[in-house]
């Protein structure tokens, strides 16, 4: 056994534990009975502690030193060593008792969040969320000391390797200045159209599910390695080669759940397309969450809210629900799916106003991690931000600061990757359409194979072989360029509207 093979075998076992945690987490979020929560939390905490113990094994440092001198290794193996050192450096910053305490606090907070959200009861969630936040601050400080980063940037690093709040601040300040005026411009364009006819429900959940499954198949989802279920908050999870997605249904409006399914299918396609030979290794992982979000937003926003896709999908919607009249035409569906209207719920937000939701959450979580704002003031700060960014008055915390599971689940530093992902999606889709002339004609016929084939070769199959900037530069000809996203918005919502 060489040092490299020792490392690969060791991280293969870590991946097996991570897969077990992934399935248990999926079950907790979809069908676990509430009475099992305490037992499940104990099991999850133990698995995470075992995984952390393996990830911080003292032998890893010695193996790395020896393997990094091995000149026989190829490009993938060398990149794997780079990724192993990166994750090992972060993991060794945390003591096992902090990992265990955080896992238990998260499990308890997630369960209490479900009740608090339903009842719009922030006060009931506050002590649970305060404990999660306290532990996240400790985790941020510990990682930050090891990495030479601020606590917030250390948390961000878990989701966006090499990302920084300084870069995000500049980007988001620019967007916060651009979007209000552009939003008004886009709304003025759509106001000149005739009023859209309504889609009259109810729309049976089973029919919605069947349509969602049909379109998942069109996008290229492999049902032999995944499934579709229901959860309070839509997500993509599971394990290697068992990539599961969820959505939530509304019998009064099928359009939201359907786009939720297509969004999560984008995530799943990325997971199902990762390099099979390196699935159990850090180099085989998805390259950061902005890239992951780019894949969901590429499918949902770039492809499935386009005129070509709705030319294909509108007749299927009409057929599924027995729709009658012009409200079911493809152009009406396109107008419906590209309608700009500020709203309270992030996951239901249109493409133009969505970044405002992310900017709000980013600014709030950064202030909370820095202890620059008491947690008890979160609802008031949230409501003030919604008024400033979107002009909305929040009626209750259910549609306000309680709507997302990210903070209760310990996902601090995650939110900015959504808007980074939207920009990345625009750039990747633009490159794919230019490189493969069959992409848009294929989408108009429900054939996503030209697009998915290009993504497999240029994004999915690369895993973490390259840095995000290098991957984008290789695939699109340049690193992330926000101007592509702005040009896309102007083209879709003003020039071609």
**Distance between CA 356 and CA 354 in Å, rounded?**
5
Ordered alpha helix ranges (H), 148-252? 151-159, 165-191, 205-219
For the chain, the distance separating the N- and C-terminal CA atoms, rounded to the nearest angstrom, is 62
The pLDDT tens digits for 32-75 are 999 999 999 999 989 988 999 999 999 999 999 999 999 999 99
**SS3 at position 481:** coil
Count of all residues that appear for the chain in the document: 497
Find the mean pLDDT for residues 486-493. Answer: 96
**How do residues 379-408 score in pLDDT, each as one tens digit?**
999 999 999 999 999 999 999 999 999 999
For the segment 180-213, what is each residue's pLDDT rounded down to a tens digit?
Answer: 999 999 999 999 999 999 999 899 999 999 999 9
How many CB atoms are located within 10 Å of the residue 174 CB? 12
As a whole number of angstroms, the longest Cα–Cα distance in the chain is: 71
473/178 Cα distance (integer angstroms): 26
What distance lies between CA 161 and its chain's CA centroid? 15
Please state the pTM of the whole predicted model.
0.90
Residue 59: CB atoms within 10 A of its CB come to: 11
User: At 158, is the secondary structure helix, strand, or coil?
Assistant: helix
Q: Cα 49 to the chain's mean position, in Å?
A: 25
Rounded to 5 degrees, what angle do the CA atoms 47, 48, 53 make? 100
So what's the pLDDT on residue 162?
85
Is it the case that residue 232 has pLDDT exceeding 80?
A: yes
pLDDT at residue 497, as a whole number: 82
* Cβ count within 10 A of residue 405: 19
Q: How large a percentage of the chain has pLDDT more than 70?
A: 100
User: pLDDT tens for residues 115-146?
Assistant: 999 999 999 999 999 999 999 999 999 999 99
Break the chain into its structural domains and give their ranges.
Answer: 3-136
Q: Please give the C-alpha separations between residue 315 and each of 59, 106, 318, 381, 491, in angstroms, as whole numbers.
A: 59, 44, 5, 44, 25
Listed range (12-26, 437-451, 477-491) with the worst mean pLDDT? 477-491
Reported as a single tens digit per residue, the pLDDT across 150-183 is 999 999 999 999 889 999 998 899 889 999 999 9
Give φ, ψ of 459 to 5 degrees. -125, -65
Helix (H) or strand (E) holding 239: strand 236-239
Q: How confident is the model at residue 482 (pLDDT cuts 50, 70, 90)?
A: confident
Q: CA 280 → CA 19, 128, 190, distances in Å?
A: 10, 34, 48
The residues assigned a catalytic role are 264
Q: Which two tokens stand for residue 445?
A: 């016929």
pLDDT at position 221 over 70: yes
Pick the closest to residue 344 from 298, 378, 395, 301 (CA basis): 395
Residue 196 DSSP one-character state = P
Neighbouring residues of 440: CB distance < 8 A, sequence distance ≥ 6: 306, 308, 433
SS3 33: coil
The DSSP-derived string for 50-115 is: HHHHHHT-THHHHHHHHHTT-TT--HHHHHHHHHHHHHHHHHTTS-HHHHHHHHHHHHHHHHHHHH
Query: Tokens 């071609």, residue?
Result: 496
183: β partners: none
Kindly report the average pLDDT of the chain as a whole number.
95
1, pLDDT greater than 70: no
Task: Check whether 347 has a pLDDT greater than 90.
Answer: no
Q: What is the 3-state secondary structure (H, E, C) of 278-337?
A: HCCCHHHCCCCHHHHHHHHHHHHHHHCCCHHHHHHHHHHHHHHHCCCCHHHCHHHHHHHH
Question: What radius of gyration, in Å, describes the C-alpha atoms of the chain?
Answer: 22
Cβ distance 332 to 317 under 8 Å?
Answer: no
* Cis peptide bond N-terminal to 202, omega within 30: yes
Beta bridge partners of 230: 247
Write the pLDDT tens digit of every residue in 250-295: 999 999 999 999 999 999 999 999 999 999 999 999 999 999 999 9
The 228-230 sheet, strands edge to edge: 228-230, 242-247, 236-239
At 182 the three-state DSSP class reads: helix
Q: Which residue has the tokens 């989701």?
A: 159
E strand or H helix at 238: strand 236-239
| Contacts for 360 with CB less than 8 Å, ≥ 6 apart | 382, 385, 386, 389
Mean pLDDT of 439-453: 98
Instruction: Say how far apart CA 182 and CA 234 lie, in whole Å.
Output: 29
CB 248 within 8 A of CB 254: no
* Cα–Cα nearest to 488, from 306, 311, 290: 306
Alpha-carbon distance 257 to 60, whole Å?
A: 45
Secondary structure of the chain: what % helix, strand, coil (to 5)? 70, 5, 30
Q: What phi and psi, each to the nearest 5 degrees, are found at residue 219?
A: -70, -20
């Amino acid at each position: 056994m060489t040092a490299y093979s020792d490392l690969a075998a060791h991280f293969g076992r870590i991946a097996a534990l991570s897969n077990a945690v992934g399935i248990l987490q999926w079950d907790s979020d979809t069908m676990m009975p509430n009475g099992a929560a305490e037992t499940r939390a104990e099991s999850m905490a133990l698995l995470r502690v075992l995984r952390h113990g393996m990830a911080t094994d003292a032998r890893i440092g010695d193996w790395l030193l020896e393997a990094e001198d091995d000149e026989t290794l190829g490009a993938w193996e060398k990149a794997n060593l780079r990724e192993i050192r990166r994750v090992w450096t972060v993991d060794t910053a945390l003591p096992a008792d902090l990992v265990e305490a955080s896992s238990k606090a998260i499990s308890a907070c997630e369960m209490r969040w479900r009740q608090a959200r339903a009842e719009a009861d922030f006060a009931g969630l506050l002590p649970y969320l305060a404990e999660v936040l306290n532990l996240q601050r400790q985790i941020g400080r510990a990682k930050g000391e090891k990495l030479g980063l601020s606590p917030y940037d250390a948390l961000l690093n878990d989701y966006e390797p090499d990302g920084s709040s300084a870069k995000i601040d500049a980007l988001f300040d620019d967007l916060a200045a651009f979007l209000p005026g552009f939003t008004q411009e886009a709304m003025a364009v759509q106001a000149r159209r005739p009023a859209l006819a309504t889609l009259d429900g109810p729309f049976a959940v089973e029919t919605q599910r069947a349509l969602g499954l049909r379109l998942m198949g069109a996008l290229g989802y492999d049902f032999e390695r995944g499934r579709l279920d229901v959860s309070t908050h839509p997500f993509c999870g599971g394990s290697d080669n068992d990539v599961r997605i969820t959505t939530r249904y509304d019998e009064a409006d099928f359009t939201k759940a359907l786009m939720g399914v297509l969004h999560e299918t984008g995530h799943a396609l990325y997971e199902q397309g990762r390099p099979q030979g390196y699935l159990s290794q850090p180099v085989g992982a998805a390259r950061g969450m902005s890239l992951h979000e780019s894949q969901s937003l590429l499918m949902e926003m770039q492809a499935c809210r386009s005129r070509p896709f709705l030319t294909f999908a509108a007749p299927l919607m009409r057929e599924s629900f027995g729709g009658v009249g012009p409200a079911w035409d493809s152009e009406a569906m396109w107008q419906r799916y590209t309608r700009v209207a500020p709203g309270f719920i992030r996951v239901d937000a249109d493409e133009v106003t969505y970044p405002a939701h992310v900017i709000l959450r980013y600014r709030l979580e950064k202030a909370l991690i820095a202890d620059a704002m008491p947690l008890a003031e979160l609802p008031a700060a949230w409501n003030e931000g919604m008024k400033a960014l979107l002009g909305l008055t929040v009626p209750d915390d259910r549609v306000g600061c309680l709507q997302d599971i990210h903070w209760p689940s310990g996902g601090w530093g995650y939110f900015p990757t959504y808007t980074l992902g939207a920009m990345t999606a625009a750039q990747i889709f633009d490159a794919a359409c230019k490189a493969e002339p069959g992409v848009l004609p294929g989408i108009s016929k429900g054939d996503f194979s030209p697009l998915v084939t290009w993504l497999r070769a240029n994004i999915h199959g690369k895993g973490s072989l390259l840095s995000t900037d290098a991957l984008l530069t290789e695939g699109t000809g340049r690193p992330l360029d926000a101007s592509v996203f702005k040009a896309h918005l102007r083209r879709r919502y003003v020039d071609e509207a």
